[in-house]
Amino acid sequence: MDADKLAVQVADLTVAYQEKPVLWDVDLDVPQGVLMAIVGPNGAGKTTMLKAILGLLTPAAGHVSIFGKPYQQQRSLVGYVPQRGSVDWDFPTSVLDVVMMGNYGKLGWVRRPGAADRRAAQSALEKVGMADYADRQISQLSGGQQQRTFLARALMQDAQVYFMDEPFQGVDATTERAIVDLLKELRAQGKTVLAVHHDLQTVPEYFDWVMLLNVRRIASGPVNEVFTDENLRAAYGGRVGFLNKRQDHEPA
């Protein structure tokens, strides 16, 4: 594949906490405009991989490029949705305020968000079905609403590539629907999404690409090519009781 066309290219990424490697020599090529699920058992290094790609922790080795250039130069093209549980939702601030944080990187020093940022944040909230919650104190949100607030903040970044850490974790049906619609809209706009995902059964329905990870990369590519029983067994070991159920679930 031509390197310029790749939205994300990861080479030899290795991360170790103390001596134990949590991510070993991972290579990953993601073309533009795909929705990629990152799946793997607990402790497989999914979150670690996202954080290493985003430079939030220092890898022992490896290189990340976005659209053919080193990540550090392309940061403005990248959006991030952290795990919902990573912040204190009792922080004294409003939904709109959190969404506007998505623009802090582009605002620069000293400047405060203005009326234009406010409007942009409001329209990002509309896209996730949260338009009526702009002034709500964030501690009053349900889990699904918290997740949608984080998604709106990422939309505010107006990025080309989005990294999402378990966007579907513990959300209600409305939110799940809203996220799926949003992912499809992003893909239609030619954006690329990499999302850590836990529910194997919905992978073929929600995503078109998948990466199977367990410290090493087991496989990555289009869902219909690499989301196979063999690869899943390699990633999850023997614990894949869901495989038979998956047959029933697959769209007819």
Closer Cβ to another protein, 148 or 232, answer by number: 148
Q: Please give the single-letter amino acid code of residue 6.
A: L
Say if CB 170 and CB 179 are below 8 A apart: no
Q: Give the three-class secondary structure for 107.
A: helix
Closer Cβ to another protein, 107 or 234, answer by number: 107
Say if CB 198 and CB 168 are below 8 A apart: yes
Question: What residues contact 145, with CB distance under 8 A and at least 6 apart?
Answer: 130, 133, 175
Minimum distance between the CB of residue 43 and another protein, rounded to whole angstroms? 19
Closer Cβ to another protein, 36 or 53, answer by number: 53
> By CB neighbour count within 10 A (0-12 exposed, 13-18 middle, 19+ buried), where does 239 fall?
exposed
Closer Cβ to another protein, 100 or 212, answer by number: 100
Minimum distance between the CB of residue 3 and another protein, rounded to whole angstroms? 23
What number of CA atoms fall less than 13 Å from residue 123's CA on the CB side? Answer: 8
DSSP per-residue letters across 129-170: T-GGGTTSBGGG--HHHHHHHHHHHHHHT--SEEEEE-TTTT
| Nearest by Cα to 151 from 116, 113, 191, 112 | 191
In the complex, the residues that contact another protein under the rule CB under 8 A are: 18, 51, 54-56, 75-76, 78, 80, 82, 86-88, 91-94, 98, 101, 104-105, 107, 109-110, 112-113, 137, 139, 153, 157
Minimum distance between the CB of residue 111 and another protein, rounded to whole angstroms? 8
Closer Cβ to another protein, 43 or 105, answer by number: 105
Distance CA 49, CA 26 (A): 9
